[in-house]
Structure 1
Amino acid sequence: MLPIIALIGKPNVGKSSLFNILTDSNKAITSQKSGTTRDRNYGHYIIKEEKKFKIIDTAGITNTKSIIKKKSIKNTKKAIKEAHIIFFIVDGKEGITKEDHFISKIIKKKKKKTYLIINKTENIKKNKKICEFYKLGYKKIHKISTMLPKTIKNVISKIKFKEKNINKIKKKRTNITIIGKPNVGKSTLGNALLKKKQFITDKKPGTTRDSISILNKIKKKKYILTDTAGICKKKNIKNEIELCSIKQSIKMIKKSKIIILILDISEKKISKQDLSIIKIIIKNGNFLLITVNKEDKISIKEKKEIKEGIKKKLKFLNIKKIHFLSALYETGIKKLMLSIQKILNIKKKKFSCQFLTKILKKAIKKHQPPIQKKIRIKPKYAHTGKINPYTIIIHGNKVNNLPKSYINYLKNFFQKEMKLNNCIIKLIFKENKNPFIKK
């Protein structure tokens, strides 16, 4: 088990900025607006390529009546309980506050190894505000500035960690990302798949801001599940935080092997916004699982109509299965998990050049390629390339001149014959060299 460090403090002290610096990422959204972080965000911190720790970025602790903020604080308290080490972060410019005393009491009750980290100490040498923090009762304090990231790791590496059981860096896991428009039930579905209340849920759209990744497993197969912010139209973006959230969601699509796209049941059809998300997924060649959440709100007749409408609209993808489920009541979750498991098993599938060429010839026999300048285009043989996206390389004469309609025909044909449902196949064409052409 990896030692876990939780970053704890009041809002806007620089927890997310420190998280990004330590994990060498931009996973956590940073903003001058307090309360940007809501869920627990996980990453890894490595010291001198030897020691590895899990880092948790958390929401700021403060006295509040807001339901979402109360849920955020509850999530932060879970992080304190989960952690082996606490980095208690305070604001050097502002000085000690009532909230710092309040948070210190919460941390001390848990009796965890705690380091007091004073942030925003740039241009501060000796200051009464800094000395005040000794009142919190911590023997050693560490001054940092997230504005000067190069100095941070040097400061942190000087802290002596006595934790044992430091594991070696493990191999990469399969990334699975939940995508969709705001308020379609992404976080609720994430909690249902994880079988615990990991992600904050609320009826108010835009609750999730960061893309939060959690390690999980299905029948001993480990994968990373990511909940994302809703992707809405550009004209509906209200502020910089929402824009950063959307950019982060699109970034996660690019990193993931499997995408679970949730459709809005209230619209009873695929919207233009859904299609724009699907275009991004197609471009990156992910495995796509189409899900319709909140099935408890529609009749059997409506369900059938929605299913037919989706299949008709996504005819070009050859989607065989659409998952209808209720993330809230956890119906249809087992079937979705089974589909995920099947995709995870595709890694083991190996298709020989002979097998793929046989499929290619079968496709050509059923529907001949077009004639161009009195010469018929001749695809001759095929073999596999990458697995993510699943790539098939086709060699032949004039194959680079194949029209889009015929390329889509071949994609669907291969998908059907190879039984790769929900897999978006990428085709690469290579011209056979003519030995009679002089160099």
Structure 2
Amino acid sequence: MSVVAIVGRPNVGKSTLFNRLLGERKALVEDFPGVTRDRNYALVTRHAKPFTLIDTGGFEPASEDRMLVQMREQSQLAIEEADLVLFVLDGRAGLTPADEEVAALLRQSTKPVLYVVNKVDGPQQEQAAAEFYGLGIESFVAISAEHGQGINDLVNQICAQLPPAPRETAAADQVRLAVIGRPNVGKSSLVNRLLGAERVVANPEAGTTRDSIDSPFRYNGKDFLLIDTAGIRRKGRVSQKLEKYSVLQALKAMDRAHVVLLLIDAAEGITEQDLTVAGYAYERGRALVLVVNKWDAVAKDHRTLNQFTQQVRDQFKFLPFAPVLFVSALTGQRVAKIMETVEQVANEFNRKVSTAELNRVLQAAEAAHQPPIFQGKRVKLFYMTQTAVRPPSFVIFVNRQEGLHFSYRRYLANKIREPFGFLGCPIRIEYRDRVR
């Protein structure tokens, strides 16, 4: 999936533009407590083109002496990861030396750049915006992110410059597995364990070319593709805020994956970035396995495993369905359990349940706990059917879907999981009013 980065000085309206582009998309809203979302990233779709939008947050120098250094590092970081850069300028403040510094940096890049002059609210600002041609650019897009002016033109130009989505060439029955993790969490060691011990897990066919990104292998007679995110790292020697950009590599891997292995450092514990990445996997409908690595480095007694498991469940409240594994990639402890679990989760992710089975469960759930009363009448559940797999998706037809409280929707989701499991899989349930 393409990445579009918004860069520019502080207070030029980057976040306002981010919210404007995000707010107009039509997407499923998950009313599920505990999903940790970093608003610097968003999945946006325009003109049938999905892309990841990033708000870089502005240049925040640690001191006056480091101002240009910090600006350069953050800009280079965004440019490196992006397929398209939106360079936002302040139409009210006019052209500044800092703008010229960033523009010079962008000219050294091979990435396409759209110059966006924000806060252009009227004819006077439109005339004043002409000074930005002093940057040596051929054109710019004048907008008012606050009032929505010029946004349609900007969206059209964004979509025109985005590269076409790559065609999927993998086999239909191949399971794509992404290994995600923070720097130094032991991800590379785990990848080596999964792919290097060929007599145990990995069994590449003759002639298969393996590189640092995609590694096809066979396990238990089935084809898998390991999507390695070895590029996740902290770039440069700047503030820890820049580590959030490593999430981009995880997002790119998740866009192609069916199952995500999220590695957690047992010694360091669960971090905000772990929750952020897991939240994106959930939102994208990916199956997920939580892998606590470096378990050999933890001092343990008879209570340690249960205590850490409870900690994981408390932190990842939005993933009660995700299995939790405790391994050591360094020693190989319990690593074999990973592929056993992945195979099981992949089967659940692709599971199709008959309409008859679903409606038996729905009727039993309704009999055990009746739907709520809405505007003087009880909500009725008519029938249910599965509409898709990867992730398992369902539609329940009702008479007044707006009358179903979130708590009852959660109840129905739990009732569906009881007989069918769907281990490691998020499930999507859409409620529709039945049309007579």
TM-score, structure 1 as length reference: 0.52
CA distance in 2, matches of 1:396, 1:421: 27
CA distance in 2, matches of 1:408, 1:347: 20
8 Å Cα contact 1:286-1:388 kept in structure 2: yes
Is 1:171 the counterpart of 2:175? The answer is no
8 Å Cα contact 2:175-2:258 kept in structure 1: yes
SS of 1:356's partner is helix
Is 1:236 the counterpart of 2:237? The answer is no
Residue number in structure 1 paired with 2:184: 183
Counterpart residue identity of residue 432, structure 2 = K
Deviations 1:355-400 (A, max 9, x none): 0111122222333322221122222211111111211111111124
Residue number in structure 2 paired with 1:329: 331
Cα distance change on mapping 1:405 and 1:278 into 2, 3 Å: farther
CA distance in 2, matches of 1:193, 1:175: 14
Counterpart residue identity of residue 432, structure 1 = R
CA distance in 2, matches of 1:287, 1:328: 25
Counterpart residue identity of residue 310, structure 1 = V
Residue number in structure 2 paired with 1:355: 357
Deviations 1:181-234 (A, max 9, x none): 22111111111111359xxxxxxxxxxxx9712111111211111121448899
Residue number in structure 2 paired with 1:295: 295
Deviations 1:384-430 (A, max 9, x none): 11111211111111124423332233223212320211111111111
CA distance in 2, matches of 1:368, 1:231: 51
Cα distance change on mapping 1:272 and 1:231 into 2, 3 Å: farther
Is 1:213 the counterpart of 2:228? The answer is no
Residue number in structure 1 paired with 2:370: 368
1:269-308, aligned counterparts within 5 Å?
Answer: 270-298=270-298, 299-300=300-301, 301-308=303-310
- TM-superposed deviation, 1:351: 1.0
Counterpart residue identity of residue 276, structure 2 = S
Residue number in structure 1 paired with 2:404: 402
CA distance in 2, matches of 1:180, 1:401: 40
1:145-156, aligned counterparts within 5 Å?
Answer: none
Cα distance change on mapping 1:302 and 1:192 into 2, 3 Å: same
Residue number in structure 2 paired with 1:259: 260
Counterpart residue identity of residue 424, structure 2 = N
- TM-superposed deviation, 1:326: 0.3
CA distance in 2, matches of 1:409, 1:254: 30
Counterpart residue identity of residue 174, structure 1 = V
Larger Rg: 1
1:37-436, aligned counterparts within 5 Å?
Answer: 171-172=171-172, 173-196=174-197, 212-228=213-229, 229-230=231-232, 236-238=240-242, 243=245, 246-268=247-269, 270-298=270-298, 299-300=300-301, 301-319=303-321, 321-346=323-348, 349-433=351-435, 435=436
TM-score, structure 2 as length reference: 0.53
SS of 1:337's partner is helix
CA distance in 1, matches of 2:278, 2:433: 30
Cα distance change on mapping 1:181 and 1:379 into 2, 3 Å: farther
- TM-superposed deviation, 1:238: 4.2
Query: Gaps spanning 5+ residues in structure 2: where?
Result: 1-50, 52-72, 77-168, 199-210
**RMSD over aligned Cα atoms:** 3.3
Cα distance change on mapping 1:195 and 1:367 into 2, 3 Å: farther
Query: Gaps spanning 5+ residues in structure 1: where?
Result: 1-25, 27-32, 37-168, 198-209
SS of 1:317's partner is coil
CA distance in 2, matches of 1:366, 1:230: 48
8 Å Cα contact 2:291-2:324 kept in structure 1: yes
8 Å Cα contact 1:180-1:274 kept in structure 2: yes
CA distance in 2, matches of 1:353, 1:232: 48
8 Å Cα contact 1:380-1:394 kept in structure 2: yes
SS of 1:290's partner is strand
Number of aligned positions between the proteins:
255
Deviation larger for 322-331 or 247-256 = 247-256
8 Å Cα contact 2:321-2:426 kept in structure 1: no
Residue number in structure 1 paired with 2:123: none
SS of 1:289's partner is strand
Cα distance change on mapping 1:213 and 1:237 into 2, 3 Å: farther
CA distance in 1, matches of 2:409, 2:234: 31
8 Å Cα contact 2:234-2:242 kept in structure 1: no
CA distance in 2, matches of 1:220, 1:275: 33
Q: Give aligned-pair identity as a percent.
A: 28
Counterpart residue identity of residue 341, structure 2 = S
Deviations 1:333-354 (A, max 9, x none): 1211111111233366431101
Counterpart residue identity of residue 292, structure 1 = V
CA distance in 2, matches of 1:382, 1:393: 6
CA distance in 1, matches of 2:372, 2:233: 40
CA distance in 1, matches of 2:234, 2:410: 28
Deviations 1:74-97 (A, max 9, x none): xxxxxxxxxxxxxxxxxxxxxxxx
8 Å Cα contact 1:377-1:402 kept in structure 2: yes
SS of 2:388's partner is coil
Cα distance change on mapping 1:405 and 1:218 into 2, 3 Å: same
8 Å Cα contact 1:292-1:324 kept in structure 2: yes
Cα distance change on mapping 1:273 and 1:406 into 2, 3 Å: farther
Deviations 1:21-55 (A, max 9, x none): xxxxx9xxxxxx9xx9xxxxxxxxxxxxxxxxxxx
CA distance in 2, matches of 1:426, 1:349: 13
Counterpart residue identity of residue 381, structure 2 = P
Deviations 1:312-346 (A, max 9, x none): 33344323631000011111112111111112333
